[in-house]
Structure 1
């Protein structure tokens, strides 16, 4: 009976080890596939998305653009923002979808410390084949 428990324990550990190894392969090589002749082929993992935005409220004269540029760079986004003659801030951003969504939330709820955001309008977020901009900049 003791031998049965011992071997059952070893079998369970072996199964856990195998499952862990399989999970490791899936998690750490998610963008590789086995091609012909058992060679690894790397596939593009990064999808790039773009959206335009316009922010309404007290967003001029409160360093909104400067804070937007800083936050976009922290998220690794590219694009631009600028003041408009209507008192809004408009712009465009592009990057990974989760980062674009985080920036949308930041533009809707945070902004610069002295800003007041009344409304944030975004165009449809769409996938693009490649980056259009080299960095995130402030247009004047």
Structure 2
């Protein structure tokens, strides 16, 4: 089982539509760890870690689905790498 970590930033209308709350629910359901945060620039950014299969599902959600009422222009992924084990005990909202 390959464990991966990656950073993401989602651009579009992704604040004021419960994006971070719904993303946490999605990540918790998939067993993903990491964090998510509303940025001052109007984007949403964070880090996700877990089994590659479920991380790929989360990336699809971040890139194409999102929360109801949001509009995703694009999702930028950086720092993707294989890791031995996740650095976080759960998935959290940062403020």
TM-score (normalizing by structure 1): 0.66
- Work out whether 1:74 is the aligned partner of 2:26: no
- Structure ranking higher on relative contact order (CA contacts 8 Å, 6+ apart): 2
Answering whether residue 55 of structure 2 is matched by residue 100 of structure 1, we say: yes
Moved over 3 A (4+): none
Give the Å deviation of 1:130: 1.6
The structure that is helix-richer by fraction is 1
* Uncovered stretches (5+) of structure 2, i.e. residues with no partner: none
Of Structure 1 and Structure 2, the greater strand share is in 2
Q: Within 2, Cα distance between the matches of 1:110 and 1:131? A: 25
What number of residue pairs does the alignment pair up?
95
User: Within the alignment, does 1:136 sit opposite 2:91 as a pair?
Assistant: yes
- Unmatched 5+ stretches in structure 1: 1-45
**Alignment root-mean-square deviation, CA:** 0.9
CA–CA distance in structure 1, aligned partners of residues 79 and 60 of structure 2: 15
Larger-Rg structure: 1
